[in-house]
Amino acid sequence: MSMHLRIVLLMAVAVVLSACDALPRGAGLQREVLAAQTEENGVANFAVEPVTRENLPLFDSWPVTDGRNLSWIERVDQPNNRIIAPGDTLAVTIWSTEDNGLLTAPGQRFVTLPEMRVSSSGRIFLPYIGSVRVEGMAPETARSRIEEQYLVVTPSAQVQLEMQEGNQNTVNLVSGVRSPGTYPLPDRDFTIMGLLSLGGGVPDNLRNPQIRLQRGGQLYGTSVDRLLESPGLDTTLRGGDKVFVEQGEDYFLSLGAARTESIHYFPQEDVTAIQALSIIGGVDSNRADAQGILILRKYPASAVRADRTGPQHERTIFTIDLTSADGLFSAGEFHLQSGDLVYVTESPLTTANAIIGVAGAALGLGRTVDALAN
């Protein structure tokens, strides 16, 4: 090969190698992403927190970033009997052995009074007795009370009472189940899980189902998963409650040297970092830096704390090292929050391999040119 040709070839190789730092990449290196942590004036752009066994309890005590933050009502045991409320309808039948009683005709042994709706004051009107308060009584208690008063005017009277629940003794199962509708409270100890069962249960294809309870002007919420795992959350219902089930909208994003770059909705209530990596199909073994898994999270300004009882910065980056046992175990206990970004950084070896490949190709080209020249 001529000297001139060798010089031109070496210059071309040098240009290509110098350009390797600018080779197109699908993700940044960890040092590149974390390089601008502090501005020139000393103000932090973000905080960096390693996910380790030592730090996990600290992170768990920090606030969640889900903007809804709905509370829930725990179960309160109630008597398993029915209670009469205003708006209920009562049917009273009076039996008598008298041949000529006040309420029965000759030869008639019973009379059924017209159905009566319990008034807003909790009373019903009965002939020969007058106004009787029945609100707050069990049907059997009200029957006994009415019979006692009729025995004064009809000594052989026996009273039968049937009750049909009104609005104050029913609950509405609005949506998210197989059979929505209005259901009467069978007793005072009727719970959310019992109502869902009456409604046919939650469809299997509903993603991360969330249950909502509207009571008066307050909205409460939790997940069906939590209800199944914690019997103490199986709330006792009240008349007038409205219940609906909706699909969960919590999500995280994946970018960088991950197998997929997309939005991923939580398939269940809690998703750990390890589960998130599984959901996205793992990391690209040819590109990813297993020591540089980053989880970017934005906290509200009100959550920031200097004493470590909260995050030190609104923008916080959690770093995970999948090459150590502590990093792997800790990633399995670190819980994602809705809106988190899982960013898989590029391995420094990717650029090195590219340089080696270009150099190898250049050397091969040199040998070819040299062979042609000879």
Q: Residue 250 in contact with residue 265, Cβ under 8 Å?
A: yes
Q: What pLDDT, on a 0 to 100 scale, did the predictor assign at position 360?
A: 52
CA distances from 304 to 51, 159, 199, 204, 233 (A): 18, 68, 44, 39, 30
Q: What pLDDT, on a 0 to 100 scale, did the predictor assign at position 49?
A: 96
Cα separation, 23 vs 101, in Å, equals 105
For the record, the structure tokens of 195 come out as 């109502």
Helices (H), the chain: 3-18, 30-33, 56-61, 139-153, 192-198, 224-229, 273-279, 325-331, 348-373
From 184, 216, 211, 214, select the one nearest 196 (Cα to Cα).
211
Q: What pLDDT, on a 0 to 100 scale, did the predictor assign at position 19?
A: 47
**CA dihedral sign, ordered 262, 264, 270, 272:** negative
- What is residue 151's three-state secondary structure? helix
Residue type present at position 117 = R
Question: Residue 98: left if φ>0, alpha if ψ -120 to 50, beta else—which one?
Answer: beta
Residue type present at position 15 = V
Residue the block writes with tokens 């080209």: 365
Cα separation, 129 vs 92, in Å, equals 13
Q: Give, for all 374 residues of the chain, the pLDDT tens digit.
A: 555 545 544 554 454 445 445 555 567 889 888 887 877 677 889 999 999 999 999 999 998 876 567 889 888 877 677 888 898 999 999 998 887 777 777 778 888 999 999 998 999 999 999 999 999 898 999 999 999 999 988 888 899 999 988 878 899 999 999 999 999 988 888 999 999 999 999 998 899 999 999 998 899 999 999 999 998 999 999 889 999 999 999 999 999 999 899 999 999 989 999 999 999 999 888 889 999 999 999 999 999 998 999 999 999 999 999 999 999 999 999 999 999 999 999 998 755 444 445 445 544 545 554 555 55
Cα separation, 8 vs 127, in Å, equals 118
Question: What phi, psi does 207 have (nearest 5°)?
Answer: -75, 125
**CA dihedral sign, ordered 103, 107, 110, 115:** negative
